[in-house]
């Protein structure tokens, strides 16, 4: 196996196995067997099992940084809430493993949670709290809304749709064709929820 191919294969196998069993549930032997490489290749490319996990985690959460570009492009607070919802749907649709790493790091954090996961989650929350503050200044949102709590409520709505999808498969339709309709419904609930009555 070529070096770049070996690196790619280990990342693929690491993503799948770590997402199912967590950092401590996967052995270096299991990883090398599943990737069809030797154990020494993990050391060569990533230093250790922890090094591979760190790289996988970095790749999973890399998309969170896109919030900055979106915020630069979209100035209106309501349009930004919509962009955030669409972007979050896209993040989960494009990456079926994200939710597993996200929930497992939040409920059973590894040593990589504080340096890698917490900062990018916080950046998104702080950015969206800023958007809501801007909406309050523009009198689009109510003055008594707490920007950070409202940003968390918004994140909760949209992330829970994906988190609960296995439990609700008989209750609602989860096909991506419905995403736009759902985004519109969440946008409506949220903007009315924080909006100024009668406007």
Chain contacts with a copy of itself (rule: CB under 8 A): 19-22, 24-25, 99-100, 103-104, 106-109, 113, 117-118, 121-122, 125-126, 129, 142, 144-146, 148-150, 152-153, 155-161, 163-164, 166-168, 170-172, 182, 185-186, 188-190, 192-195, 197-198
Name the residue nearer to a copy of itself (CB basis): 40 or 94.
94
CB of 117 to a copy of itself, least distance (A): 7
**What Rg, from alpha-carbon coordinates, does the chain have?**
20
Q: Among residues 46 and 102, whose Cβ is nearest to a copy of itself?
A: 102
Task: Give the separation between CA 137 and CA 161, rounded to whole angstroms.
Answer: 30
The least distance separating a copy of itself from the CB of residue 132, rounded to whole angstroms, comes to: 11
- Based on CB atoms, which residue is closest to a copy of itself, 55 or 105? 105
Instruction: Measure CA 92 to chain center.
Output: 7
d(CA 10, CA 28): 11
| Six-digit token string for 71 | 């915020």
Report which of 48, 56, 67 is spatially closest to residue 97, judged by C-alpha positions.
Answer: 56
Considering the complex, what minimum distance in angstroms separates the CB of residue 26 from a copy of itself?
Answer: 10
Is the CB of residue 95 less than 8 Å from the CB of residue 152? no
Contact in structure between 19 and 46 (CB atoms under 8 Å): no
DSSP symbols for 173-198: ---GGGHHHHHHHHHHHHHHHHBPTT
Nearer to a copy of itself, 75 or 103 (CB): 103
Least separation in angstroms between CB 172 and a copy of itself: 5
Of 39 and 126, the one with the shorter C-beta distance to a copy of itself is 126
CB of 150 to a copy of itself, least distance (A): 6
């Amino acid at each position: 196996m070529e070096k770049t191919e070996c690196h790619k294969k280990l990342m693929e196998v690491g993503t799948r196995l770590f997402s199912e069993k967590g950092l401590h549930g996967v052995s270096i032997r299991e990883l090398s067997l599943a990737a069809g490489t030797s154990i020494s290749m993990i050391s060569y490319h990533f230093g250790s099992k922890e090094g591979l996990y760190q790289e996988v985690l970095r790749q999973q959460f890399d998309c969170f940084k896109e919030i900055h570009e979106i915020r630069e492009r979209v100035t209106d607070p309501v349009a930004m809430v919509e962009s955030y919802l669409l972007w979050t749907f896209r993040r989960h649709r494009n990456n079926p493993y994200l939710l597993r790493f996200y929930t497992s790091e939040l409920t059973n954090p590894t040593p990589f949670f504080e340096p890698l996961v917490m900062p990018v989650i916080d950046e998104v929350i702080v950015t969206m709290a800023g958007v809501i503050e801007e909406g309050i200044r523009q009198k689009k949102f109510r003055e008594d809304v707490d920007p950070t709590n409202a940003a968390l409520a918004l994140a909760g709505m949209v992330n829970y749709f994906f988190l609960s999808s296995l439990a609700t498969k008989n209750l609602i339709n989860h096909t991506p064709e419905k995403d736009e309709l759902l985004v519109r419904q969440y946008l409506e609930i949220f903007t009315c929820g924080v909006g100024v009555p009668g406007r």
